Amino acid sequence: MDSFYKKLIRSSVIGVLVLVALLFIPAGTLNYWQGLVYLAVFVIASTAYSVYLAKYDPALLRRRTEAGISYEKEPVQKIIIFFLFLMCMVLMVLPPLDVRFGWSLVPWYISLMGDVMVAFSFYIFHLVSKENTYAAANVRVEEGQKVISDGLYGVVRHPMYFGALFLFIGTPLALGSWWTLLLIPIFLVILIARILNEEKILARDLPGYTEYQKKVRTRFIPFVW
């Protein structure tokens, strides 16, 4: 087996264990059905997405695994990613605390709706990946990269972030917390800051991007912004 895939499997297992800790230690119990269902949905969806990339676009899979502060070249993006990772940790920890102490009561069908949103976010990631093999997890322009304007890129300029919005909204609902939805405006600010800086880089380094900006006016949320 390729060393890359061995490393990917090892990091995926560690990631799942970290997710289990983030969900069930704050909950104070393993008897947390929302956490169990969310964990299953997230692991199945993310594994299916990774297997698809491994089979049909290994180069993109490598690009998607190069995520984190150390992979960002722009100082502004390093700061943005730091706060994004921090908020993602809070997004995981607050809902089980909410359920444990009964701060808010989310009906079971709303939690399942949240799980559907989480799965749907990975479906959007899948659609984006089919259109754009250069959809890396960090902001960069590679040799040979071209502007993509087909599929979802014909609707919004940053469909991967649009998909992430379903993940950020669906996670608190799936895990049974209304209060955690108050984090969504913070995520929006972080994503908007990332998009604005990313577009400066793309306009500077990616030929044809300024023309694409004129063609597709919406950056992030269809018909909104």
Q: Is residue 222 part of a domain?
A: no
CA distance 207 to 204: 8
User: What per-residue confidence (pLDDT) applies to 3?
Assistant: 86
CA distance 86 to 96: 17
CATH number of the CATH domain containing 71: 1.20.120.1630
Residue found under tokens 């983030």: 22
Q: Is residue 221 part of a domain?
A: no
Q: Is residue 85 part of a domain?
A: yes
Q: Is residue 147 part of a domain?
A: yes
- The pLDDT-based confidence of 169 (bands split at 50, 70, 90) is very high
Using the predicted structure, report yes or no on whether residue 224 has a pLDDT greater than 80: yes
Q: How many CA atoms lie within 13 A of 136 on its CB side?
A: 18
User: What per-residue confidence (pLDDT) applies to 1?
Assistant: 65
Start-to-end C-alpha separation, the chain: 44
Asked whether 53 and 60 are in contact (CB, 8 A), the reply is yes
List pLDDT tens digits, range 12-38. 999 999 999 999 999 999 999 999 999
Q: Is residue 29 part of a domain?
A: yes
